[in-house]
Amino acid sequence: MNGIVYLNGEFIDAAAAKVSAFDRGFIFGDGIYEVVPVLNGRLVDREDFWERFERSLAAIELSLPLSKSDFGGVLEEVVWRNNLKEGGVYMQITRGVADRDFKFIKGLKPTCFVFCYEKDIVANPDAATGIEVVSVEDIRWKRRDIKSISLLAQCYAKEQAVKAGAYEGFMVENGFVTEATSSSAFIIKDNVLITKPLSNEILPGIRRKVILGFAEKAGLEIRQRPFTMQDVYDADEVFISAATLPIL
């Protein structure tokens, strides 16, 4: 890792960034994260990503240590200091440092960390070739609408997909696809766009929201309903979306 990051009020070299071994994010995965895409050096759909970030923080009773305006300034400065033109900005808030205790500890100073990275979004080579997807078991917790930093289940599922020779895994629970390991899942059949409806079973993807908006304006029929892997096999088109990906 290199470049300039933001950590608890300071802009520092990435190699110098250090947090306590007793941070609850390290011990429990007690924190929230968000990734905002950057195109042409500018944050894209920042308000939508911010609203989701705030919802996730509120869901686990975690307060932001900065105002919305100040935090937005931090994101912009990280992009500027690193001269980022295309990629993503990662922001993470954990509950802070405390003795190990399962209950939420009140009055802690949250740990705030922001970094950015380069990534080809528009010219992603996978967009030209397409990707392979396999099914994997969805073993996650029941609050998948919260963008928690606890991502072991997703990492495990992604690894199973990669070992099977695929780019992505469609997670399956009770016979139905919930979403992909790190993206939203869609199919098209007979000119109907199908995706699972929002609930606590999936993350409310920002790209998902944008795609549904475009589809509606284009007059494409949309059905938000559960679908199976057999539906995937029978579909005319299958694709995924995520913050720092084109439609794949």
pLDDT at 2: 85
The model's confidence at residue 100, banded by pLDDT at 50, 70 and 90, is very high
Mean pLDDT (whole number) for 239-245: 95
Residue 3 has pLDDT above 90, yes or no: yes
Choices 3.30.470.10, 3.60.150.10, 3.40.50.300, 3.50.50.60: CATH for 4-118 = 3.30.470.10
- The span from the CA of 223 to the CA of 80, in Å, is 41
Residue 27 has pLDDT above 80, yes or no: yes
| Active-site pick, 119, 147, 158, 163 | 147
Mapped onto helix, strand or coil, the DSSP state of residue 26 is helix
Mean pLDDT (whole number) for 227-243: 97
Task: Assess whether 106 carries a catalytic annotation.
Answer: no
Q: Name the residue ranges covered by the structural domains of the chain.
A: 4-118, 126-241
Q: Which residues contact residue 24 at a Cβ distance below 8 angstroms, ignoring those fewer than 6 apart?
A: 30, 31, 94, 95, 96, 97, 98, 105, 108
The model's confidence at residue 148, banded by pLDDT at 50, 70 and 90, is very high
CATH number belonging to domain 126-241: 3.20.10.10
- The span from the CA of 141 to the CA of 43, in Å, is 30
